[in-house]
Structure 1
Amino acid sequence: MNTLQELDTELFLYLNNLGSVPWDGLWLGITNKWYSIPVYVLLLLLIIKNLGLKKTGLVLVLVALLITCTDQLANVFKHGFERPRPCQLDVLRQQARFIAVRCGRYGYFSAHAASSMALAIFIGVLLRKKLRYLLPLLILWACTIGYSRIYVGVHYPGDVLTGMLIGGLLGYLFYLLCGLVSAKLKLNENHLK
């Protein structure tokens, strides 16, 4: 386990130190969840246009449950593993760049990475037949958010990768759930089967 933590720390230091002051503002913006509101509005418009209002209502309920699920699961992991964030460790303060506004207590796994990847997979797979390009774009968006957590100094790469994997899995499970609920409510069309 120590070898994995050492590798995670080395990779964190490498990726974190790729940053520079001129780019800090951009990455602080990307890591701020409120800066993603335009993406959410665009996704909402695409969902309404491609699925209609009734299905959009179902999707919105499932998105709320999905984000709640990823956040709560991340909290369970954080308090279960109690792994300090890199910004909490004095030994790393001399070697890394910490530009985050605040540093939470525990970091394993990243709720930001999990939530963004869960949303990317859920919406991207849901709309993939009508908007083929959307899934790769959303995955890129989620990966960018994940990297931002390393850049600002609040997560190790392992925290981010675990969050993305769990988020991706939950996103796909919620896509399957959407298909089941749509069929039960007779809202099903080919793209939900």
Structure 2
Amino acid sequence: MIETLTQLDKSLFFLINGEWTNSFLDWIMPLLRDKYFWTPVYIFLIVFFLSQYKWKGFALIGFVLLAFGIADFTSASIIKPFVERLRPCNDLDLAGQIRVLVDCGTGFSFVSSHASNHFAISFLLISLYYKQWKWIFPLCFLWAFMVSYAQVYVGVHFPLDILGGAILGTTIGLLVGKLEKLIYPVVDGVR
């Protein structure tokens, strides 16, 4: 069962990283996974929270940072050292078979911190605003998915790393959203 899953994971990796490619994606995918590329989104969120909720907007910024922090710590400091799965770009068995479009990094692969962090923020926002704006679900999901897919495309993660990170991040985002509603409900009523 594990071997079959690993083979499926590698087969999908080779499709994304080696076959479903073109020059435009080779240009855009490294950008989509770059933390600085998304700076305008983060600035927009800060400005939106503060303009909509005044001083209470700082609480929302705190909840976003909490979701991000828990996701990042859990993925990078707990799960990755425990699982110790090599990144595809660091796996000597795959050398010469993959395209690596960015610096590979030295850390482990499972779970993807990019995926867990972005899904955590996305699903926190979804949990806070879905009742008001149904369109936030596809928008936030697409954002997290694009960042995550780019990780596979550029050669630094396997698809199962992304799936694990997405599940972890989604869970954390939804739990932090429940926490916001429980202890300091800025959104959905009290403003």
TM-score by length of 1: 0.89
Q: Please state how far the C-alpha of 1:20 moved relative to its aligned partner.
A: 3.0
Amino acid across the alignment from 2:75? A
Q: Please state how far the C-alpha of 1:49 moved relative to its aligned partner.
A: 4.3
1:190 paired residue number: 189
1:148 to 147, 150, 167: 150
Alignment of 1:26-41 (within 5 A): 26-41=28-43
1:115 to 114, 117, 134: 117
Does structure 2 conserve the Cα–Cα contact (< 8 Å) formed by 1:97 and 1:152? Answer: yes
| Deviation by residue 1:52-79 (Cα, 9 ceiling, x = unmatched) | 1233111111211211111111121110
Does structure 1 conserve the Cα–Cα contact (< 8 Å) formed by 2:75 and 2:112? Answer: yes
SS of match in other structure, 2:85: coil
Structure 1: give runs of 5+ residues left out of the alignment. none
Amino acid across the alignment from 2:42? Y
2:81 to 75, 79, 83: 79
Does structure 1 conserve the Cα–Cα contact (< 8 Å) formed by 2:128 and 2:187? Answer: no
1:165 to 164, 167, 191: 167
Q: Please state how far the C-alpha of 1:96 moved relative to its aligned partner.
A: 1.6
Q: Please state how far the C-alpha of 1:181 moved relative to its aligned partner.
A: 1.3
Would you say how many aligned residue pairs link Structure 1 and Structure 2?
188
Structure 2: give runs of 5+ residues left out of the alignment. none
Q: Which moved more, 1:104-113 or 1:169-178?
A: 104-113
| Cα-Cα RMSD | 1.9
Identity level (%) = 28
